Amino acid sequence: MMRSKLMNLVPRAVATTSRQMSTATKLTTVQVDDKTGIATLTMNRPPVNGLNLELLRDIHQSIEEIEGNKSRGLILTSSNPTIFSAGLDIFEMYKPDKERIRAFWTALQDVWLALYGSSVPTAAAINGHSPAGGCLLATSCEYRVMLPKYTIGLNETKLGIVAPKWFMSTFESVLPRRLAERALNQGRMFTTEEALAVGLVDEVANSKEEAIAKCAQFIGTFAKVNPLARALTKQQLRAEELKQLEDERVQDLEKFIFFVNQPAVQKGLGIYLESLKKKATK
Ligand SMILES: CCCCCCC/C=C/C(=O)SCCNC(=O)CCNC(=O)[C@H](O)C(C)(C)COP(=O)(O)OP(=O)(O)OC[C@H]1O[C@@H](n2cnc3c(N)ncnc32)[C@H](O)[C@@H]1OP(=O)(O)O
């Protein structure tokens, strides 16, 4: 996988317009700025960009497309004005269908492996709330720019569930160990201002456009760096976490299937879904 991605790292010509690379997928769009060569991958699954099987598959396909089209970088964002992603779609895990739940978790693994291991520079323009799986996507990128007054974090313990090891190690690759451990145990959601103070995000922007511009600026810092050397350096630094999941994909899936089917977990997810609905009717 690594070799084929690295083969894409050859110089390309630049034009002056922006073009839509992909409309084949319905829940994501990929727009390439032909001037910078940077691709913006936008998640578009109303109402909250809940990561269901289809959205995960579309995100994966879009990342592969960006890798294959020799973009200079990838910016991940959302079409929703207040939500980056509400994380995993809880309906996928609540009273799950036997076959679909396996495909769902496999698609999540695929997305993480592709995004965390991406050979191109990656940045997240976090233009809204970003709990749990949303935080995983953002922290899998190399740089994060967030809009004010939103929240980000891994809140799994608050739902009575446990984030898998690779969620935790991604979080830990951004935050100091002690802080990450405490936040994970607490299921803490950080406000934008708190996230900036601890380094969970790198910058704050006042609009989505500004966030995207700041992400592009970050990606631009690699303009004079050899792309192959950059990609190999990144992938070596991330190799241990990537290899761990690649080696343990099946066990990770089986662990998830076992856990998700526990009556106590199902009960907890049901209660959480009810609380979300009640909140909506208040
Ligand atoms: C069992 C084994 C587990 C192994 C570990 C798995 C690791 C898990 C990772 C996860 O990502 S779990 C999901 C965690 N996500 C959350 O806790 C987010 C919950 N949602 C919110 O906090 C809020 O919805 C929001 C994102 C802050 C947005 O708030 P807002 O006020 O703008 O919208 P709402 O009215 O709350 O929501 C609109 C609509 O969407 C539904 N919804 C929200 N989040 C989810 C979700 N994650 N999955 C499914 N559905 C979701 C919500 O119920 C509303 O529905 P309706 O009432 O309109 O039908």
Examine the predicted complex and report whether its ipTM is higher than 0.95: yes
Mind listing the domains of the chain with CATH numbers? 2-281 (3.90.226.10)
Q: What is the pLDDT of residues 164-193, one digit of tens each?
A: 999 999 999 999 999 999 999 999 999 999
pTM recorded for the entire structure = 0.94
**Percent with pLDDT over 70 in the chain:** 90
For residue 17, name the pLDDT band (cuts at 50, 70, 90). Answer: low
Check residue 70 and give its pLDDT. Answer: 85
Q: What is the pLDDT of residues 135-155, one digit of tens each?
A: 999 999 999 999 999 999 999
**Percent with pLDDT over 90 in the chain:** 87
Residue ID of nearest Cα to ligand 1 atom 22: 86
Check residue 125 and give its pLDDT. Answer: 99
Check residue 23 and give its pLDDT. Answer: 55
Using the mean position of ligand 1's atoms as its centre, give its distance from the Cα of residue 86 in Å.
Answer: 5
Mean pLDDT of the chain: 92
| Set 133, 134, 153, 187: catalytic member | 133
| Set 8, 155, 175, 242: catalytic member | 155
What is the best residue among 43, 48, 149, 278 to mutate for testing ligand 1's pocket, by most ligand atoms within 8 Å of CB?
A: 48
| Token pair 């990561």: residue | 51
Cis before 47? omega within 30: yes
Residue ID of nearest Cα to ligand 1 atom 52: 276
